[in-house]
Amino acid sequence: MADFNQVLLPGDVDNGVVNTVVEIPEGSTLKIEWDRERAAFTLDRVEPQIFAKPVNYGFIPQTLDEDGDELDTLIVCHEPLVTGIWLEARILGVLKFEDDGEVDDKVVVCPADDRQTGDQYRSVEDLGERWKQQIEHHFTHYKDLKKPGSTRVIGWGDVEEAKRIIVECIERYNNK
């Protein structure tokens, strides 16, 4: 019988695996967010079609980024994932990002057990330059109609930098 008192933990960061919860499926224009006070997903807004998510979007449980929200994940998968599911994911790197002047990094991951792509993805470099350009373009411009210039891509970090950021966000969560 399941123990409903168990909590979803961040994962095995040292070994490069985290748990991530899907908020927004790839291709969706719905800005869905986790509301930890109510323990439920909420529809924050509907974005214009041109700003549909180019990749599955989620978060690592029991983390807090510097912006006060859970640490975001960009989940590379061959198809959209459903809001609310969680998966074990292999850390590939991190998109260093600011939103309204606040750190809002996004850890890039892929399913730890993805038999479609096998072990082909081990770092963000394996995703290719074009993929990185598309992600940078999306996150640089997705708020242009609402608040131009409010987002800024700083660059990319490797797996070790992503792990360091995850550990900092776990510590921030534990000390809140």
Annotated binding residues, as ranges?
A: 31, 45, 57, 67, 72, 104, 142
In a domain, 4, yes or no: no
The domain that holds 151 is classified in CATH as 3.90.80.10
In a domain, 58, yes or no: yes
Query: Residue 6 has what pLDDT?
Result: 64
In a domain, 111, yes or no: yes
Query: Residue 78 has what pLDDT?
Result: 92
Annotated binding residues for Mg(2+), as ranges?
A: 67, 72, 104
In a domain, 1, yes or no: no
Query: Residue 118 has what pLDDT?
Result: 66
Query: Residue 5 has what pLDDT?
Result: 53
Euclidean distance between the first and the last CA atom of the chain, given in angstroms as a whole number: 32
Residue 42 near residue 33, CB atoms below 8 Å = yes
Q: Which regions of the chain does DSSP assign to beta strands (E)?
A: 11-12, 17-24, 30-35, 40-46, 56-60, 71-75, 86-99, 102-103, 106-111, 151-157
In a domain, 3, yes or no: no
Q: Give the pLDDT confidence of 130-159 residue by residue, as tens digits.
A: 999 999 999 999 888 888 888 899 999 999
30: nearest Cα among 84, 78, 79:
84
In a domain, 6, yes or no: no
Domain that holds residue 142: 11-174
Query: Residue 150 has what pLDDT?
Result: 87
In a domain, 2, yes or no: no
Annotated binding residues for substrate, as ranges?
A: 31, 45, 57, 142
Q: How many domains does the chain have?
A: 1
For the chain, 176 residues long, the average pLDDT of each consecutive 10-residue run is 68 97 98 93 94 97 95 96 97 96 95 81 96 96 87 96 98 94
